[in-house]
Amino acid sequence: MCTIDFFLPDDLQPPVLFYYHLTEFHQNHRKYVTSLDGSQLKGKSVSRGSVKDSCFPVTSSRRDGGEEKVIYPCGAIANSIFNDTFADPQRLLGPDADQPVPYAMSRTGIASDLDKELYRPTTYPVPPGPGDNDSAVIVPPPNWAERFPRGYHSGNMFNPAEDEAFMVWMRTAASPSFAKLAMRNSDEVMVRGMYRLQVFSHFPAHLHGGTKSIIISTTASGMKRNKFLSTASMALGGISIALAAISILSLLHKSKPLKDHIYLHRG
C-alpha cells in the first residue's frame, strides 16, 4: 500500500470523477483487442475448443497434471485487468492533519448502459466450496490468483454483470496512453484542501515500460468530448473521400485500353 498526499486548489463541483491513467499500455494491439469471447461473457458455457480460437493465448489451464480447464473469463484483456484499488480520498483537518474527513466515492455508475448489456452471470457449473476444485470446469485467469486464491466456488465467484470496473477495462482504449473511470461522486462538492489517498498497488506498469497515475476531474474540465476534434475529424474524413473519388474518376478518364500501342511488346 502507498499513500499519496495532494492539495486540491479549488472546489470541484459534482459529478467528481476519479480516473486511473496508464501510459505505454497497448490495448489497441490487434491481437489483444480480439482476445475475448463475447458469448462466454454473456453467460454461455463456451467449450474449451471455442475459447482456444477466440481467446488465444489465455484460453485454458492444466494444474498438477490434471484435466485441462477453461479459463473464465478467457482472453488477454481480462487477464491483464488493472487491479490497483483505491480508498476514498480523505480531507486532512487539524493542526497535525489528524482529523481526516472521508470524501465518499462510488464504484458503481462508472460503466455505460451499453457496456452493461454485454455481460451476464455465467452458466458454467460452480463448486459449492473452496475445496472442490477438482470438480470445477472453469478456473480464473492466471493474473487473478490473488483475488481468487482457491479458485471459483459459490462463496467467491466472479460475476461480470456486477463488476463495473471489469466492464470499463474491457472497453479497450484506442491509444497506448489512456484514462479509465474508477470511482465517482455525483452529489457532493469536493472542497478545496489537502487530501490523502491510500492506494493498494498491484498493477505492474513498469513491466511494459509505462507509468500509472490518477486524475480527479469533472465533466467540465477536459474529460468530455472535444467537439472541435470530432468536427475536424469528420471534415478530414469527408475531404479524404472526396479526393479519393476525384482520383478514381481521373484514372478512369485517363486509362488506356490494353490494345493501345504503348502496351505492345516490341521484340
Give the model's pLDDT for residue 239: 59
- Please say if the pLDDT value at position 133 is more than 70: no
- What are φ and ψ of residue 122, in 5° steps? -70, 155
Q: Are 80 and 90 in contact (CB under 8 A)?
A: no
Q: Return d(Cα 19, Cα 21) in angstroms, integer.
A: 6
Instruction: Mean pLDDT check: name the lowest of 1-5, 29-33, 251-255.
Output: 251-255
111: cell is 460503466
CA distance 219 to 230: 17
Q: What pLDDT, on a 0 to 100 scale, did the predictor assign at position 223?
A: 42
Task: State the DSSP H helix or E strand holding residue 178, giving kind and residue range, or none if neither.
Answer: strand 178-185
Count of positions (residues) in the chain: 267
Alpha carbons 212 and 203: distance in angstroms, whole number: 9
Task: Return left, alpha or beta for 130; rule: phi > 0 is left, psi -120 to 50 is alpha, else beta.
Answer: alpha
Contacts of 172 (CB under 8 A, 6+ apart): 27, 28, 32, 33, 77
Helix (H) or strand (E) holding 248: helix 227-254
Is residue 219 predicted with pLDDT exceeding 50? yes
**Mean pLDDT score, 222-233:** 46
Task: Tell me the mean pLDDT in the region 25-36.
Answer: 97
Q: What residue segments make up the domains of the chain, in order of their start?
A: 231-263
> Residue 130 has what pLDDT?
77
Q: Where is average pLDDT lowest: 130-139, 142-151, 156-165, 230-239? A: 230-239
Average pLDDT over residues 173-200: 97
DSSP-based helix, strand, coil % in the chain, nearest 5 = 25, 20, 55
Q: Residue 171: which pLDDT band, with cuts at 50, 70 and 90? A: very high
Is the pLDDT at 178 greater than 50, yes or no?
yes
pTM: 0.80
Confidence of residue 254 (pLDDT cuts 50, 70, 90): low
- Residue given cell 506498469 in the structure block: 205
Omega within 30 of 0 (cis) for the link into 15: yes
Q: If you average pLDDT over every residue of the chain, what do you get?
A: 86
